[in-house]
Structure 1
Amino acid sequence: MRLKEEAMACRNEEEREREREREEEEEEKLAQTHHRHQQQLQWCTVGDGFPQQLRKVVVVGYALTSKKTKSFLQPKLEGLARNKGILFVAIDQNQPLSDQGPFDIVLHKLSGKEWRRILEDYRQTHPEVTVLDPPDAIQHLRNRQFMLQAVADLNLSESYGKVGVPRQLVIKRDASSIPDAVAKAGLTLPFVAKPLVADGSAKSHELSLAYDQNSLQKLEPPLVLQEFVNHGGVLFKVYIVGESIKVVRRFSLPDVSTRELSKNAGVYRFPRVSCAAASADDADLDPGVAELPPRPLLERLAKELRRRLGLRLFNLDIIRDHGSRDHFYVIDINYFPGYGKMPEYEHIFTDFLLSLMQGKCKK
Structure 2
Amino acid sequence: MASNSPSSNRLRVGYAFPPNKERNVIRPSLIDYAKFHGVDLVRIDLQTPLLHQGPFHCIIHKLYDDAWAENLQDFASKNPDVVVVDRPDLISKLYNRVSMLDVVSQVKVSDSGVRIEVPKQILVKKEEEAIDSIMNLELKFPVIAKPMESDGSAKSHEMSLVFNRRGLKELNTPVLLQEFVNHGGVMFKIYVAGDQSVCVKRKSLPDVEGTEEELEKKTEGAMKFSQISRAEEKSEKCNGEAKKEEKEIEMPPEKIVREVSRGLKEAMGIRLFNFDMIRDGNGTYYVIDINYLPGFAVLPEYEPFLTKFFKEVTEKKVDEVASAIEDDKAKPRCCSCFQRT
Please give the TM-score of this superposition, normalised by the length of structure 1: 0.80
Q: 2:293 aligns with which of 330, 336, 345?
A: 336
Helix, strand or coil at the partner of 1:258? coil
Match of 2:131 in 1: 179
Please tell me whether the aligned partners of residues 202 and 272 of structure 1 are also in contact (alpha carbons under 8 angstroms).
no
The 3-state SS of whatever aligns with 2:169 is helix
Number of the residue aligned with 2:28: 75
Q: What RMSD over aligned residues (CA atoms) do the two structures have, in Å?
A: 1.9
Q: Report whether the alignment pairs 1:355 with 2:315.
A: no
1:37-59 Cα offsets, whole Å, 9 max, x none, are: xxxxxxxxxxxxxxxx9752211
Following the alignment from structure 1 to structure 2, what is the Cα–Cα distance between the partners of residues 315 and 247? 9
CA deviations over 1:125-150 (Å, ceiling 9, x no partner): 21111011111110010100111000
Q: Which amino acid aligns with 1:283?
A: K
Which of 120, 126, 144 is residue 79 of structure 2 equivalent to? 126
Cα distance in 2 between the residues matched to 1:284 and 1:175? 43
- Deviation, 1:118, is 1.9
Q: CA deviation at 1:157?
A: 3.9
- Per mean C-alpha deviation after superposition, the further-off stretch among 270-279 and 220-229 is 270-279
Kindly state the Cα deviation for residue 227 of structure 1 after the two structures are TM-superposed: 0.3
Q: Quick check: 1:59–1:102 contact (8 Å CA) kept in 2?
A: yes
CA contact (8 A) 2:161 2:223 kept: yes
2:196 matched residue in structure 1: 244
> 1:318 aligns to what SS in structure 2?
strand
**Where do residues 40-51 of structure 1 align in structure 2 (5 Å cutoff)?**
none
May I ask how many residue pairs the two structures share in their alignment? 307
| Residue equivalent to 1:283 | 243
Structure 2 Cα separation of the partners of residues 67 and 102 of structure 1? 25
1:261 aligns with 2:221: no
Report the Cα offset of residue 263 of structure 1: 4.2
What is the letter of the counterpart of residue 109 of structure 2? Answer: L
Instruction: Report what 1:136 is aligned to.
Output: 89
Q: Distance in 2 between matches of 1:60 and 1:280?
A: 27
Q: CA deviation at 1:159?
A: 3.5
Provide TM-score, normalisation by structure 2: 0.85
Whether the 8 Å contact between 1:175 and 1:218 is mirrored in structure 2 is: no
Asked if 1:87 is matched to 2:46, the reply is no
8 Å CA contact 2:162–2:168 kept in 1: the answer is: yes
Query: Which residue of structure 1 lines up, in the alignment, with residue 67 of structure 2?
Result: 114
- Cα 1:101–1:353, aligned 2, differ >3 Å: closer, same or farther? same
Give 1 or 2: higher helix fraction: 1
C-alpha separation in 2, matches of 1:54 and 1:108:
23
| Distance in 2 separating the partners of 1:212 and 1:130 | 49
